[in-house]
A and B are shown apart, each in its own frame.
Chain A
Amino acid sequence: MLNNSRPCQPQSAGFSFENTRRNAVLEGNLSELGYSSPKARKTGTTIAGIVFKDGVILGADTRATDDMVVADKNCMKIHYIAPNIYCCGAGVAADAEVTTQMMSSNVELHSLSTGRPPLVVTVTRQLKQMLFRYQGHIGSSLIVGGVDVTGAHLYSVYPHGSYDKLPFLTMGSGAGAAISIFEDRYRPNMELEEAKKLVRDAITAGIFCDLGSGSNVDLCVITQAGVQYLRSYDQPAQKGKKEGQYKYKPGTTAVLTKTVTPLPLDVVDESIQLMDTQ
Chain B
Amino acid sequence: MAKTKELSNDTTIIAIEFDGGVVLGSDSRVSAGETVVNRVMNKLSLLHDKIYCALSGSAADAQTIAEMVNYQLDVHSIEVGEDPQVRSAASLVKNISYKYKEELSAHLIVAGWDKRGGGQVSVRDLNGLLSRQPFAVGGSGSAYVYGFVDAEYRKAMSKEDCQQFVVNTLSLAMSRDGSSGGVAYLVTIDEKGAEEKCILGNELPTFYDQ
Contacts and interface: CB of A to CB of B under 8 A. Distances in A.
A65 to B, nearest CB: 16
B59 interface: yes
A161 B1 contact: no
Contact of A175 (B2, B4, B35): B35
B7 A158 contact: yes
B7 A176 contact: no
Contacts of B7: 158, 160, 162
A160 B35 contact: no
Interface string A211-237: 000000000000000000000000000
A132 interface: yes
A137 interface: yes
Interface residues of B, number: 20
Contacts of A131: 60
B30 A139 contact: no
A166 B40 contact: yes
B58 interface: yes
Interface string B158-184: 000000000000000000000000000
Q: Give the interface size bracket for A toward B.
A: 20 to 34
A158 B60 contact: yes
Interface in B3-50: 3-4, 6-7, 30, 32, 35, 37-38, 40-41
A164 B30 contact: yes
B35 A91 contact: no
A160 B41 contact: no
A26 to B, nearest CB: 14
A171 to B, nearest CB: 8
A40 B60 contact: no
B91 interface: no
Contacts of A137: 1, 3
Interface in A129-149: 129, 131-132, 135-137, 139, 141
A176 B35 contact: yes
Nearest to B37: A164
Contacts of A208: none
B1 A160 contact: no
24 contacts: A128-B63, A132-B64, A136-B3, A136-B4, A136-B60, A137-B3, A139-B3, A139-B4, A141-B4, A158-B4, A158-B59, A159-B3, A159-B4, A160-B4, A160-B59, A160-B61, A161-B60, A161-B64, A162-B30, A162-B60, A162-B63, A164-B41, A166-B38, A175-B37
Interface of B: 1-4, 6-7, 30, 32, 35, 37-38, 40-41, 58-61, 63-64, 103
Given A136-B6, A156-B37, A163-B63, 13 more contacts: A128-B60, A128-B63, A139-B2, A158-B32, A158-B59, A160-B6, A160-B7, A160-B58, A160-B61, A161-B64, A162-B30, A162-B59, A176-B35
Interface of A: 40, 91, 128-129, 131-132, 135-137, 139, 141, 156, 158-164, 166, 175-176
